[in-house]
Structure 1
Amino acid sequence: MLKQILFLFLIGTVTSIATASEDVTNSNDNQNIFQKDNIKIEVSIDESPEGSVIIASTFEDGKAFIPDYFSIELQKLGSTVEEFEFQSSKGVLRSTRALSEPHSFNATIYLTDKKRKYSWEWENLEGRTQIAKKLIEKSQLATSEVQSGTIERHVELLGTLVIPPKNKAEVNARFSGVVETLVADVGDSVNAGDVIAKIQSNDSLQTYIVKAPISGTVVSRNVNVGQLVAGETLYDIVDANTLWAELKVFPSKRDTIKPGSYVHIKKGSQQQDAQVKVLIPSSSQSPYQIAIVEIDNIEGVFSPGDMVTGVVDAQKIAVSLRVENEAIQSMDGNSIVFLHYGNMFQAVPVKLGIKDDNFTEIKHGLEIGQVYVSKNSFLIKADLEKSGASHAH
């Protein structure tokens, strides 16, 4: 239950107006008194851990009595009319069903006794504010719909980008001889099968060709034309279009990382989504495993040797209701979300569940499809607190 929620443009938090000019109406923090002729009723909201119910005491000529009929039609902002029936209990009338949060509404009270019919208007407002459209636009408030979705639990791992072994090649001369031609140079791109060198064999004195075994970039040229070679490496070629992120998985996180786990590889503003390819022991006998994640680097935004962070989706849980984290505010120790109806905003207390970096589960208080303030909701909270009004029943 919200305590001491403040709201704009309201002088009193509970105002009760009788439908006839001769009606008498009074209210205080706990009780609302309505009177017409010799009939008086006192209405309050009884809050308990089991739920809140509406209590009504009815009097005729100052004496308690139970009328022939008593009901209340109640409407909350953006909701349909709810009808509350009552039954007699220990000399008072109690609503037969609970009143949900928020306790902010407009209602009509109906009483019938001995063919006499009475009605009163009851306005009970809390945590509600009205803001002009221009101010809403200026404040850059953003709204979203309450929806179902997933909550993801993340684990961060640190690592380094490397060239996969299959994407590295050392190009050697098959037979000893003299280098006649070197077609490629450092920085050149080559395709698998391209002729990149010609060598005259010492044994046959015939010239044979050397082809690139993989496609990639020449990163080193280790011989020169005219040089006698006997098994030396002519070129080193690497293909950096695909990289491996080698992420360190320490024992405390090992049970949450599996082959196939989804992971977001991040370096600065760059991010790529991938999956854990395999887990292998550390070659240095360090107390961690290595999670290998293969990423696409065709655009060349990453480079071997880059330090990266791997954010692993360790767990995905489907939830019935969720809202963006920024939507949740705290007032008097209670978590609230602001619902939006036109230029009206209503604070609604919510029970929170699990959360991740973006969303929080709502276990109670909201319904799917409701429109809530997802960005800059703190501005509405500030307006409510600035108004200086207080919550009451």
Structure 2
Amino acid sequence: MSNNSGKFELTRKGAAALAVGALALVGAAVGATVLVEHRLHGHGHGAGHDHGHDAHEHGEEGHEQAQHRGHGHGEDHGHDHGDPAGRPDGAHEDEHVGGKLRLSPAMIENAGLELLTAGPGKVAVTLRLPGEIALNAEGVAHVTPRVPGAAREVKKQLGDAVKKGDVLAVLDSRELAELQRELLAARERLTLAEASFARQEALWKEQISAEKEYLAARQAVAEARIEHRSAAQKLGAAAGAGGGKGGGYALIAPIDGTIIEKHIAVGEVLKEDTQVFVIADLSTVWVNVTVYAKDLRRVHVGQGAWVTAEGTPAPARGTVTYLGHVLDEGNRSASARVELREPDRAFRPGLFATVDVSVEEVDAPVVVSDEAIQRVDGEDVVFVQEGDAFEARPVKLGRRGAATPAGQGARVVEIAEGVAAGERYVGKNSFVLKAELGKPEAGHGHAH
């Protein structure tokens, strides 16, 4: 029995020893788990060691406390660092805290953000008016045949650029042939009359013929000359500078320009008043502007203006060259004209336009691009660069207008308060930062 009893006691002791060893292993495992979790969250080795020691000393109770502590550290870290996935520092590229955004250089480039420098400048305070692009009426030529005829040859097409004197088309005309015949006949009669007069003059001087015959011959020469001159003028008026032989004559371009209308085809019979070609000098265009009665006192001839229209690459600079003296009875407005010289071909006659007339120029200590202004929480803000971050800086705006003199009509705004000269800010595509700022802040979850 004693032997059996001894064996039984050894077995209980062995079991106790085994239980203590198992608890120690579990505590060590928990401590290792906490250590790994804390290292992922940036904690040192000491914290993991302490938790493992607690588990070893206090058994099952220590195990539960260690698990609770390990879980609690994950929650604290999630709140402190704003990373729900428990990623190491620097694992995400952008964040925003307290109205500031941090973006990597790659994100700045991909978003197309334009960084500009605030500074002093001239602001042209403008008056915005509606308008319509039109042809320069003083640079338009209508080409007509002047005599009926049929098109023998067409040398120029719609859209072609032509020079003054270029042949546009060649026509055949019976009327023109008749005028040419009359001119030839008048020329022959003049030649005969001149010869007869020379003979009568010689006979009269030798007192062979009577003075009456001499005077009659001189009168005949005068009449022949008048008929010849008249026939030549009729032919010239009919054929213009083109002239022609055998009933054919050329339609000639009267100015440099571009053919904007063409109403002729080979073989087509044309009347003398048919508008065959329209040529326009597009080196200048007019913009017809509507000026309302309340704005008339602010608009004057000679003021600068910027014109934009749908599809145009950039505003075009022009000058107010005309302001009407009579108001339209319908809408109580006057007509004004802005002339654009050498405009981009995108400024096509017929397009509706927006005209910003410069009514005042002011010197501003700080100006920024109009694109930089965004509205956030009811305030006007500019995203100002501060180190590697962008701050949504509230600003007080001054006068708006166009940049001068070399601003190409770019819209700018005066900053009365909020941004200092020399500070860097986001101009183009600043709305991207506004959208990013409006997103829910990442990192409010718990790390488990």
- The TM-score with structure 2 as length reference comes to 0.46
Matched, 1:360 2:413: yes
CA offset digits 1:1-49 (Å, max 9, x no partner): xxxxxxxxxxxxxxxxxxxxxxxxxxxxxxxxxxxxxxxxxxxxxxxxx
Letter in 2 for 1:194: D
Matched, 1:202 2:178: yes
For 1:202, what is the secondary structure of its paired residue? helix
1:213 to 254, 261, 265: 254
CA offset digits 1:150-175 (Å, max 9, x no partner): 3333323223332222222233455x
1:185–1:221 Cα contact (<8 Å) kept: no
Identity %: 21
Give 1 or 2: higher strand fraction. 1
Alpha-carbon distance, 1:203 to partner: 3.1
Alpha-carbon distance, 1:217 to partner: 0.9
Superposition pairs of residues 41-120 of structure 1, within 5 angstroms: none
Equivalence for 1:369: 422
1:148 to 107, 120, 123: 120
Residues 261, 385 of structure 1: alpha-carbon distance in 2 compared, 3 angstrom cutoff: farther
Matched, 1:161 2:129: no
1:317 to 351, 357, 362: 362
Equivalence for 1:76: none
Letter in 2 for 1:310: V
Alpha-carbon distance, 1:292 to partner: 1.7
5+ residue gaps, structure 2:
1-96, 184-242, 403-410
5+ residue gaps, structure 1:
1-125, 389-393
For 1:255, what is the secondary structure of its paired residue? helix
Residues 248, 334 of structure 1: alpha-carbon distance in 2 compared, 3 angstrom cutoff: closer
Alpha-carbon distance, 1:219 to partner: 1.7
For 1:263, what is the secondary structure of its paired residue? strand
Equivalence for 2:336: 291
Matched, 1:304 2:349: yes
For 1:187, what is the secondary structure of its paired residue? coil
Alpha-carbon distance, 1:147 to partner: 0.5
1:162–1:305 Cα contact (<8 Å) kept: yes
1:343 to 388, 408, 411: 388
Equivalence for 1:28: none
Equivalence for 2:19: none
Residues 331, 386 of structure 1: alpha-carbon distance in 2 compared, 3 angstrom cutoff: farther
Greater CA deviation, 310-319 or 201-210?
201-210
Whole-Å separation in 1 of the counterparts to 2:254 and 2:117: 55
Alpha-carbon distance, 1:333 to partner: 7.5
Alpha-carbon distance, 1:127 to partner: 6.7
Whole-Å separation in 1 of the counterparts to 2:439 and 2:159: 64
Matched, 1:266 2:311: no
For 2:158, what is the secondary structure of its paired residue? coil
Whole-Å separation in 2 of the counterparts to 1:300 and 1:345: 40
Whole-Å separation in 1 of the counterparts to 2:281 and 2:415: 45
Give 1 or 2: higher helix fraction. 2
Whole-Å separation in 1 of the counterparts to 2:177 and 2:327: 40
Whole-Å separation in 1 of the counterparts to 2:253 and 2:109: 62
1:128–1:344 Cα contact (<8 Å) kept: no
CA offset digits 1:328-367 (Å, max 9, x no partner): 5778877665643323566766544323484332334543
CA offset digits 1:190-227 (Å, max 9, x no partner): 43112333553423326634422123316243698695
Letter in 2 for 1:197: V
Residues 166, 225 of structure 1: alpha-carbon distance in 2 compared, 3 angstrom cutoff: farther
Letter in 2 for 1:277: T
Letter in 2 for 1:157: L
For 2:294, what is the secondary structure of its paired residue? helix
For 2:420, what is the secondary structure of its paired residue? coil
- Structure number with greater Rg is 2
Whole-Å separation in 1 of the counterparts to 2:281 and 2:164: 14
Q: Which has the higher contact order (CA 8 A, sep 6+)?
A: 2
**Over aligned residue pairs, what C-alpha RMSD do you find?**
4.4
Residues 342, 299 of structure 1: alpha-carbon distance in 2 compared, 3 angstrom cutoff: closer
Matched, 1:171 2:171: no
Letter in 2 for 1:274: G
CA offset digits 1:231-268 (Å, max 9, x no partner): 53462322152322211112122222222322232221
Alpha-carbon distance, 1:274 to partner: 1.9
Letter in 2 for 1:276: V
Letter in 1 for 2:356: V
2:145–2:276 Cα contact (<8 Å) kept: no
Aligned residues: 261
Greater CA deviation, 358-367 or 373-382?
373-382
Equivalence for 1:187: 158
- The TM-score with structure 1 as length reference comes to 0.51
Equivalence for 1:243: 285
For 1:204, what is the secondary structure of its paired residue? helix
CA offset digits 1:284-342 (Å, max 9, x no partner): 76532222223357764343333222232333322011234565577887766564332
Residues 201, 255 of structure 1: alpha-carbon distance in 2 compared, 3 angstrom cutoff: farther
Superposition pairs of residues 4-23 of structure 1, within 5 angstroms: none
For 2:422, what is the secondary structure of its paired residue? coil
Residues 292, 182 of structure 1: alpha-carbon distance in 2 compared, 3 angstrom cutoff: farther
